[in-house]
Structures are given as structure tokens and as C-alpha cells.
A and B are shown apart, each in its own frame.
Chain A
Amino acid sequence: MSQTRREFVWTMGAASAALALRGTTNGVFWTRQETLEAGWQPGIEKHLSSTCMICPARCGIRGRVVDGRLVRISGNRLHPMSRGGLCPRGIAGVQTLYHPQRITAPMVRTGPRDSGGWEEVSREEAISLLSERLGDLRASGRPEGLALLSGYCAGTMRDLWHQFMRAFGSPNYVADEYADGTDAIMEVMHGVRRRPGYDLERSGLVLSFGAPLFESWWSPLQAFVAYADPERTNRRRPRFVQVDTRFSRTAARSHEWVAVRPGTHAVLALGIAYVLVRDELYDAQFVTDHLAGFEDFTDEQGRLRPGYRSRVSSNYRTEEVSAITGVPVEQISSLARAFARGDPSVAVCGEDVMRAPNGLLAGLAVHSLNLLMGSVNRPGTVLFGEEPPLEPLVEPVLDFTASAGLARGPIAGSPLFGAGCPALPFAEQVAESGDDTIRALLLYYANPLASSARPEVWRNALEKVPFVVSFSPFMDETTRHADVILPDLLPYERWQDAPTPPSYPYPVWSLTQPLVEPYEGAIHTAEALLAIARNLGGSVAQSLPYEAFEPLLKARAQGLYAAQRGTLFGSEFEREHHRQMEQRGWWLPAHTNFEAFWRGLVERGGWTDLYYDDTDPAHLSAMPDGRIHLLPASLVDALQAGNRELYVHVAPPSTAAEAEEYPLELIPYRLSTLASGSLSLERWLAERPSVFPDVYWHPWVEVNPVTTKEMGLHDGDRAFVVSPNGRYEVRIKVSSGTAPRTVTAPYGLRHPGGEVASPLRLLDSLVDPLTGLQSWI
């Protein structure tokens, strides 16, 4: 018998292994066993479906609850969008539930603001205090003095707030609902004010312009599922191409990364369009059938005006595009050819393309690629998803006070192509105006003192507001400035509905349900709102005639039950089965009565309809001429005022003077482990915020090795990032994923002590006058 060296040691040991074996079984560490032996009862264990509400994606979760404590969050396999997957934040949700900063009871301020002096009050007291103050406001005939600042919020909660504010009579509903401006693109080109949905899963090529699909975006889970086919159905998996200024995680895991200079995404898009047009690779049939503005045309004054084709052909020759974007000519051509062959391809426009001075125009340029290839309203392309067919709320009743208040309009009006009331201009208005413009401010899911790029503006604004109410369940910066706190429940403790974000092209209505008992003193903001409405009485009460929130959700689900379409969440097989049935015009009711339907809804986590009717031409355009406009008249007119033209590149103003003093360019980005910037990171995430294994806890910036060498910096060094607007302390991470002479800075981080370390505060806040979108909020 021959023995290798390793085997020899092995066999030699076999004898001793036998010796020690008794010990092994004695010392078994599996605690379940141990606890049973020790006479402890296993905990009472439940597994419940719910929804992750940490970011707009709204993934399906299953909560494991043992003895009334949420010990683990895992994915809900039946959820049609997330399919059982979760991102790290979703898993860390248990740490938000038991977060040390949670507020457990309503509080009224006792000392000066931000002094930390609070007195606990009962829920009833807090609600009647609020009702009283708001009642006074209405009684004074100035209901518009009430403002609501709300973070991302969708579904019935959003409807409730809208209803409340309308019935109350205030137009000052300030919402940051992830305004990425894509709805404005759709409005001007298609005539529908709707954010585009992207059918990534069935696409052949996904060309993302700066959208960090795997990190933040609307729904990383949607992108993951499209990318990887986690259920291994052996469908075709799309090719992902990421156009980005930095080598993001999305870029790293995409099949191709196109490194562009900052702010030149749109130029690259039009460079690709140039090749498509030049080589006649575009979908000519679609262009003739559905587009307007492709060819040259004569305007009302009878002048011949260049169409899209001419503009692109004369302005975006690949050499010039290459010079501007830094992308090699061959790469532009090959991108164009790949895009033409995508079968189908889809171009996704990232928020950062839009959040810039000419953002809307840039967004148009990116979407024009979809139009050239007919990548709309077909499987695998841009789809216009629908809202779930919920039972609507009652019609709001507007009394005289309300109508008068609404008529006075929001204090920061919306720009031409924007929607609603943008947050920072609102704060600026409040800070500048007299004391009684806004007399009560409600904060819902918002912490501008931490998250805003201009916290000082918000600080001034808050000073002007005599009554600030926070619904936050956490003692965050802005909440510390509140007069009254009515701590909300966390999503793991409350009922709520959660439609998936618009990027997902199919209607999905998920539910959250209480997984654990809430804190005694905390109160669901919806319940608080309903109670306040009741206390206010009159038209406000009539507009919100609901006893409680759960029955309201249930009532709304009646709409789904009655819609004769869609299905409860189900397995991959059930989903596909259903889609095909509906395609053939079939629909079979699965429940004999609504109660059973509702029970199923709660058990499985939600309702969805995965059938999309791509034969409906109304999905293509709602313009009077039924066409999609490459040169939308409304936009052309608006631009003419400023002597600007569509599809003509304007170089950004040179900053040579500043370059001397500030030689590096700052590129902020959002970490995938971060749910916006307001809460201290959960400890699990703070320890592992990024892909770099040696980066944790402390804010950092990434710098190219060439640049660090030039500056004499080393990995892990402490440094300050300085701009004319301020500075903050970071650690240096040397990374060749960052371009030389730039600094990529994750935002939303805090120092271990809790202070915000935000690069956003260092940036100039640039605004696109057309959409009102600020480069940073």
C-alpha cells in the first residue's frame, strides 16, 4: 500500500480520532439540543409574510418570530419581483426594529428646541394637542399654513396624506418621492405622466446610463432577478452594459462597463444614436409608424427645421463624441451595433443623468435610443405599468376654507416640467418669508437636517415654523427640533400596503402586517391621521371616514377581488400559468369569497397581475396625434426662450479658475447598504458598508492610486475633503475603480459618533430649470 504524506498523517490520526470520539458527541454545540436537554421549551415560532419598506423596491419578506421577537427576516419566495431574495439592508431590518434610537412614547418638548428636554404624554393627549393646533389653523382661515414634508411613500399611506392635505386645504405637500424626472420625459414625449417601467427580465440588452441598477435605483432586486434568473428557469439572461463615471459594483458585475466623463452620458447616448442612424441600424418601421420629429419638417412659420436625424447626424459624429465622453470611437460603434442587435434592447436612464442643469434634455437623449429601436411597449422594453385596481378612497369633500387654501397654491411653485413642490426651494421660501407662512410642519419619513445638501437652509426654515411635528419612530436630527413627536410604528409592527415601484412594469400590491407587538406608546401614523381627521370634524372628517387603517386596506382590496384579473403571489409555476391564461383571455377565480381572498393575500404577501397587454396602442402615446415626439413642441418652445435647442450639446462652463485650488472632482454615490442618509447605520451594515473588505464604520472616499501617489496619500490615511462649500473628514481608500483626479464619495455615512459625513453638502446645488430637479436635494 502506498501512502502519500498527507494520507500518512491522516491514518496515523485515525486511532486517536476513535479515542476522542466520545468527547465529540458529548460536546455537541447545537444549542437546540442543549436547550431541550436543559428542560427549556422551544420558543413559540411563527413565520409571517410581509414587505420590506426600507427602500422603494418593496421586496417580499418572511419574518421569523420566536416568542414575540422578530429574530430573522428572509425573503418571500412567492413575491413576483423579489422572488425570495433580499438585499443586506432588508436583512438588517431586525436591527432597525430594535434600534437603540427608537422612541417609545409620544413626547412634547419641554426645553428649547434641540435641547433634549421632553415630556412623555399619552397617545390621546398628543393627538388632541395636534388636533387642537391644526383646528386653530383651519379656524384662522389659513389652512395652507400647514405643510407636510414626506419621504418616499406610496400606496394607501400616500393617498391618505393627499386626501388629508386636500381636505384640510393645504397645497403644501412637499414630497421627495424619489423624483428622478423620468416621468417628465414620458410626459413630453409620450403625453403620459407616468414613470417608465422596464421589463428587464425579458430584455436582451440593458444599457444603463448611470443608473446603479445593482446598488440603489428603484429596485436592485428587480435588476438582480433579471440579471441572474435566480429560479434557474434557463431563460435567456440579458446582457448588462453600464455607462458610468466610476467603476461601481453595478459596473463591475455588468457584462461591460463604459467609463464616461462626468456629465457626458447624454452625449454618449446621442453618439450611439448617430451610429444607429448613420448605419441605418434603427427600427425604420417603428420610426415611420410611431415617431414624430425624426425627419426634418417645416414649422408654423414655414421654415425648414432639422429633425432628430439631422441634428444627431451633424452634431454627434463619433470622433467628437469620443473626445467629449472619453469613450473610444470603436466602443461607441460596437455599443450601437450591440444595441441594435439586442432583441430587444432597453436604455435605462439614471437619476443622475436627470439631476443636472440640462437633465431633462439628457434624459430625452437616452430615451430616444429606446424610440429608435422601437423599444417601447414590447416585452423586454419600456412598458407603462398600471396601478393595482384598488377600491378608491372616498371623494374628498372640500369646504370653503379648503378650497380657498388650495387655491393659494404651493409656496414653492412647480417648474414647467416638474411635479409637486420640491423640497429645497420650499425650505428656502420658508426660511426667507415671514413668520406666519408655514405655521405647522409635519415630518413624515423625512430628516432634512441630516439628509439635505443644505441643512442650514432647513435649520432656518424650521426656526420660522412655530409648530413642528415629527412622526419619526427614531430620534433623528430633525425630530430633535420638533415640538411634538408621535412616534410611528415600524413596518414590522404595522399594517400597510406597498405597491412595487414604477420601474417594475407589472402592478404588484404587497402588504405589511404586524409581525411583533408594537411598543406601547407608539402609534401608526395612519391611525393618528384618521383620529386627527375625526377630531377636526366637518369636511375633513367626511373625507377620511375610516375607523382604522387595517379595515381600510381590506376595503381597498375589494377592488382587487372584484377586478377579475391578477392573482395572489404564487410560485414560479403558478405565475407563469397565470400569465399565459390571461394572455389567452382567461381568468379563473381562485377564492369563493372575499374573506378567503384576504386571508390568502395576508398569508402569501400580496397580489399581482403579470400580464401586460402590449397590443394596446394607448400604451404607446397619449398625444393627440397618437405619435411619440422626439422633438416635443412644449419643450422646444420652452427652450427657445433661452435660445437653446434640443439634441445640441453645450459644454458645461469651464471651471479652470477653481481647478487650481480644488484639483479633484467629487463624484458622490449612494451605497447599496444604505437606506438614505438619516439613520445611523445598523451595526451590521456599518461594519460592512461596501465591497472593500477593509472599509468599515468610518466615512471614506475612493481615490485612484495615481492620484494618491501624486498627493502622497496612502490607504487608510485620514484626510479632509474640502470644497468652497465646506469640508468633512474621511479615510482614504485607494481604488483603481475611481478615475484619476476624481474622488468618489459614498454618501449617507456617519462617523461612529453619529455626525453626518455628507459629500452632498460640498457640492453646488445645480438645478434644471425645466424640471426643478436639483442635482442634490
Chain B
Amino acid sequence: MSRWGMVIDLDRCTACGACELACKSENNIATVSPEQADMDRTMSWMKVEVEVEGEFPNTTMRFYPRPCMQCDNPPCIRVCPVEATYINDEGIVGQIYPRCIGCRYCANACPYTVKYFNWYGPEWPESERQHLNPDVSVRPKGVIEKCTFCHHRLQKAREDARAEGRELREEDYQPACAETCPTGAIVFGDLDNPTHRVAELKEDPRSMRLLEDLGTEPKVYYLTSRQ
């Protein structure tokens, strides 16, 4: 059984934001109006978070591209009253949009604040309908959404592999952000498969996970040489 995971090399990342846009494009994430943005209601399953420290000219900025951590022990799914968020046997934490009642309990329970709520029904101007990805459903108003590790790509890759009568290869299933990252900072694969790069990279001495002491067991690892 695979255990999908991600390694993000912060020493490579240039905070360009391509991963965010790739995710938006791949997953039909709606853009909200300027007024809604002012109310902190923008949605970005992947988000490059920034930490600014120090005073000019000793300023430092650290950037953390942050998808859903896809915790192995996810606090979000336990609290959902209707099991609209769940973890599957390959470790992917998913959302069931048609079932979610929009209580936002999971959003509060997630220590990484990666859940986004559709405060209004998303707006799809005609110009944006044109480029919606047909593989991913758009969400209705009042439900929670978040990074799914581009699970639809796994399904497709599986179908294709099956059709071609072969095993799934590492490069067959790559989420949009990993695929587009121009610095190769995002590496994706099966953490339990020793031939996959993530399996080796997660053992790197620079490897760490966010809020590790919470015991959520994220499957997103970060590599950083800065302490």
C-alpha cells in the first residue's frame, strides 16, 4: 500500500508562488472579489507563507509553501460530525463536498489552518468557466475545501496504468504544484517506496515537519538548513 507524501526543499524554493497558481488552475479554486479578499476569505490550497524577522538591513524572510499536511493522524477528520473529511488507506485526507454541512469544526481543528470555506457560492465568470479543469468538481457554497494531493490525478494515473497493463510509476502521479515548481523544490511520491525520491529525502538531516510535537504525523516534510 502506498503512503503518498511530499518533501519541500526550502533551500531551493524561491517563493515564486508558481505552486499556488498551479494548484488554483488544476483544482478550480475560485477567486473571490476584492471586498471578500479584504475580509480574509481568499482561497489557496497551497500557500507560500512568509515569516519576516529582524530590522532593516538585517531582515530575514523565510518562506514555507504550505499545502495540507496530509497528516497520518489528522485531527481534522476526527471532529467532523458527518465524516465529510476522511483519510483513505493510502493516507490521503480527502473531502466529500456533497456531504459537508459546513460546520467548520475541521477547520478549527486543523493546526495548520489549511482549510478554506466557501463563504459564498464561488463565482465563475464566463471567462473563467472556459478554463475549468473538467477532472475536478467545483465546490458549492457553504462547504470546506482543501488540498487533496491532487487525488484525481492518482485516479487517472491508475486508470492509465491499468489500461496499459503496468505498475504505477513515480512520475505517473505528480500533483500540479510539484509538477510546476520551477526549482524542483517540491518532490512527491510514495514515502514507503524506497525507489521514490521522497523516501530518501525525508531521511535527509535537514528534514523536519511542521509542529511535529503535536503528533499529527504530517506527510509533508520540509528540508531546511536554517534552524
Bound-state CA distance A74–B153 (Å) is: 14
Q: Distance in Å from the Cβ of A709 to the closest Cβ of chain B? A: 12
Whether the pair A88, B131 counts as a contact (CB closer than 8 A) is no
Interface size of A by CB at 8 A reads: 87
Whether the pair A228, B25 counts as a contact (CB closer than 8 A) is no
In the complex, identify which listed stretch (B48-56, B114-122, B161-169, B205-213) lies at the interface while the others stay far away: B48-56
Chain A 29-53 residues near chain B, CB threshold 8 A: 29-35, 42-43
Q: Distance in Å from the Cβ of B104 to the closest Cβ of chain A? A: 18
Chain A 105-121 residues near chain B, CB threshold 8 A: none
**A247 and B128 contact, Cβ closer than 8 Å, known pairs A91-B180, A737-B52:** no
A229 within 8 A of partner (CB): yes
Q: Distance in Å from the Cβ of A37 to the closest Cβ of chain B? A: 13
22 contacts between A and B (CB under 8 A): A20-B83, A29-B96, A35-B134, A43-B134, A72-B26, A84-B179, A87-B18, A88-B17, A91-B21, A91-B180, A95-B128, A98-B128, A214-B14, A220-B182, A224-B14, A228-B185, A249-B15, A253-B14, A684-B25, A696-B34, A736-B54, A738-B56
Whether the pair B22, A739 counts as a contact (CB closer than 8 A) is no
Q: Distance in Å from the Cβ of B101 to the closest Cβ of chain A? A: 13
Whether the pair B135, A697 counts as a contact (CB closer than 8 A) is no
Whether the pair A687, B151 counts as a contact (CB closer than 8 A) is no
Whether the pair B94, A88 counts as a contact (CB closer than 8 A) is no
B130 within 8 A of partner (CB): yes
Pick from B13, B42, B127, B134: contact of A95, CB below 8 A: B127
Bound-state CA distance A75–B174 (Å) is: 13
Chain A positions within 8 Å of B, measured between CB atoms, are: 6, 9-10, 13, 17, 20, 23-24, 27-35, 42-43, 66-67, 69-75, 82-88, 90-92, 94-95, 97-100, 214, 220-221, 224-225, 227-232, 247, 249-250, 252-253, 257, 259, 672-673, 683-688, 691-694, 696-698, 704-706, 735-740, 752
- Give the 5 A-B residue pairs with the shortest CB-CB distance, closest first: A85-B182, A230-B184, A228-B183, A259-B57, A697-B34
Whether the pair A31, B180 counts as a contact (CB closer than 8 A) is no
Pick from B98, B131, B184: contact of A72, CB below 8 A: B131
**B59-85 vs A, Cβ < 8 Å mask (1 yes, 0 no):** 111010000000001000010000110
Whether the pair B73, A98 counts as a contact (CB closer than 8 A) is no
Whether the pair B183, A224 counts as a contact (CB closer than 8 A) is yes
Whether the pair A82, B182 counts as a contact (CB closer than 8 A) is yes
Whether the pair A684, B96 counts as a contact (CB closer than 8 A) is no
**A31 and B136 contact, Cβ closer than 8 Å, known pairs A23-B99, A221-B182, A687-B32:** yes
B137 within 8 A of partner (CB): yes
**B129-163 vs A, Cβ < 8 Å mask (1 yes, 0 no):** 01111111100000000000001100110000000
Q: Distance in Å from the Cβ of B96 to the closest Cβ of chain A? A: 4
Whether the pair A252, B16 counts as a contact (CB closer than 8 A) is no
Bound-state CA distance A688–B182 (Å) is: 18
**Chain B residues, Cβ within 8 Å of A737:** 52, 56, 59, 61
Whether the pair A253, B21 counts as a contact (CB closer than 8 A) is no
Whether the pair B184, A736 counts as a contact (CB closer than 8 A) is no
**Chain B residues, Cβ within 8 Å of A32:** 134-135, 152, 155-156
Q: Distance in Å from the Cβ of A181 to the closest Cβ of chain B? A: 26
> Assuming A691-B15, A704-B56, A739-B56, what are 19 further A-B pairs, CB within 8 angstroms?
A27-B98, A31-B134, A70-B130, A72-B176, A74-B176, A85-B180, A86-B182, A92-B25, A95-B128, A214-B14, A228-B14, A252-B15, A253-B13, A673-B17, A684-B21, A684-B25, A693-B49, A694-B40, A736-B56
**Chain A residues, Cβ within 8 Å of B131:** 69-72, 94-95, 97-98
Whether the pair A10, B78 counts as a contact (CB closer than 8 A) is yes
Whether the pair B96, A24 counts as a contact (CB closer than 8 A) is yes
Pick from B50, B84, B132, B152: contact of A71, CB below 8 A: B132
Whether the pair A688, B20 counts as a contact (CB closer than 8 A) is yes
**Chain B residues, Cβ within 8 Å of A88:** 16-18, 20-21
Bound-state CA distance A24–B17 (Å) is: 34
Bound-state CA distance A252–B56 (Å) is: 12
Pick from A99, A231, A691: contact of B48, CB below 8 A: A691
**A259 and B56 contact, Cβ closer than 8 Å, known pairs A17-B83, A31-B136, A224-B183:** yes
B193 within 8 A of partner (CB): no
Pick from B96, B127, B134: contact of A28, CB below 8 A: B96
Q: Distance in Å from the Cβ of B132 to the closest Cβ of chain A? A: 7
Q: Distance in Å from the Cβ of A380 to the closest Cβ of chain B? A: 19
Pick from A86, A95, A214, A696: contact of B37, CB below 8 A: A696
**Chain A residues, Cβ within 8 Å of B215:** 6
Interface size of B by CB at 8 A reads: 72
Bound-state CA distance A421–B98 (Å) is: 61
Bound-state CA distance A83–B181 (Å) is: 10
Whether the pair A30, B14 counts as a contact (CB closer than 8 A) is no
**Chain B residues, Cβ within 8 Å of A697:** 34, 37-38
Q: Distance in Å from the Cβ of B28 to the closest Cβ of chain A? A: 10
Whether the pair B25, A72 counts as a contact (CB closer than 8 A) is yes
B202 within 8 A of partner (CB): no
Pick from B16, B52, B130: contact of A220, CB below 8 A: B16
Pick from A9, A688, A704: contact of B17, CB below 8 A: A688
Pick from A13, A86, A97, A247: contact of B180, CB below 8 A: A86
B24 within 8 A of partner (CB): yes
**Chain A residues, Cβ within 8 Å of B155:** 30, 32-33
Using CB atoms, name the residue of chain A closest to B80: A20
Bound-state CA distance A775–B119 (Å) is: 46
Q: Distance in Å from the Cβ of A755 to the closest Cβ of chain B? A: 14
Whether the pair B78, A672 counts as a contact (CB closer than 8 A) is no
**Chain B residues, Cβ within 8 Å of A706:** 55
Bound-state CA distance A162–B184 (Å) is: 39
Whether the pair B24, A98 counts as a contact (CB closer than 8 A) is no
Whether the pair A71, B56 counts as a contact (CB closer than 8 A) is no
Whether the pair B14, A249 counts as a contact (CB closer than 8 A) is yes
**Chain B residues, Cβ within 8 Å of A739:** 56-57
B219 within 8 A of partner (CB): no
Bound-state CA distance A253–B11 (Å) is: 8
**Chain A residues, Cβ within 8 Å of B26:** 72
**A252 and B61 contact, Cβ closer than 8 Å, known pairs A29-B98, A737-B56, A738-B56:** yes
Pick from A20, A70, A673, A698: contact of B34, CB below 8 A: A698
Using CB atoms, name the residue of chain A closest to B16: A87
Whether the pair B12, A71 counts as a contact (CB closer than 8 A) is no
Using CB atoms, name the residue of chain A closest to B184: A230
Whether the pair A31, B24 counts as a contact (CB closer than 8 A) is no
**Chain B residues, Cβ within 8 Å of A692:** 50
**A691 and B63 contact, Cβ closer than 8 Å, known pairs A87-B182, A227-B14:** yes
Bound-state CA distance A505–B26 (Å) is: 33
Bound-state CA distance A647–B60 (Å) is: 33
Whether the pair B130, A69 counts as a contact (CB closer than 8 A) is yes
Q: Distance in Å from the Cβ of A155 to the closest Cβ of chain B? A: 23
Pick from B15, B128, B180: contact of A75, CB below 8 A: B180
**A224 and B182 contact, Cβ closer than 8 Å, known pairs A30-B155, A740-B56:** yes
**Chain B residues, Cβ within 8 Å of A23:** 83, 99
Pick from A84, A214, A683: contact of B128, CB below 8 A: A683
Bound-state CA distance A91–B20 (Å) is: 10
**Chain A residues, Cβ within 8 Å of B15:** 249, 252-253, 691
Q: Distance in Å from the Cβ of B118 to the closest Cβ of chain A? A: 14
Bound-state CA distance A259–B54 (Å) is: 14
**Chain A residues, Cβ within 8 Å of B37:** 687, 696-697
Whether the pair A691, B50 counts as a contact (CB closer than 8 A) is yes
Most B Cβ at <10 Å: residue of A83, A691, A705: A691
Using CB atoms, name the residue of chain A closest to B9: A228
Bound-state CA distance A686–B125 (Å) is: 15
Bound-state CA distance A6–B136 (Å) is: 34
Whether the pair A27, B18 counts as a contact (CB closer than 8 A) is no
Whether the pair B59, A30 counts as a contact (CB closer than 8 A) is no
Q: Distance in Å from the Cβ of A247 to the closest Cβ of chain B? A: 5
Whether the pair A85, B52 counts as a contact (CB closer than 8 A) is no
Pick from A27, A94, A220, A247: contact of B56, CB below 8 A: A247
Q: Distance in Å from the Cβ of A270 to the closest Cβ of chain B? A: 21
Q: Distance in Å from the Cβ of B64 to the closest Cβ of chain A? A: 11
Q: Distance in Å from the Cβ of B216 to the closest Cβ of chain A? A: 9
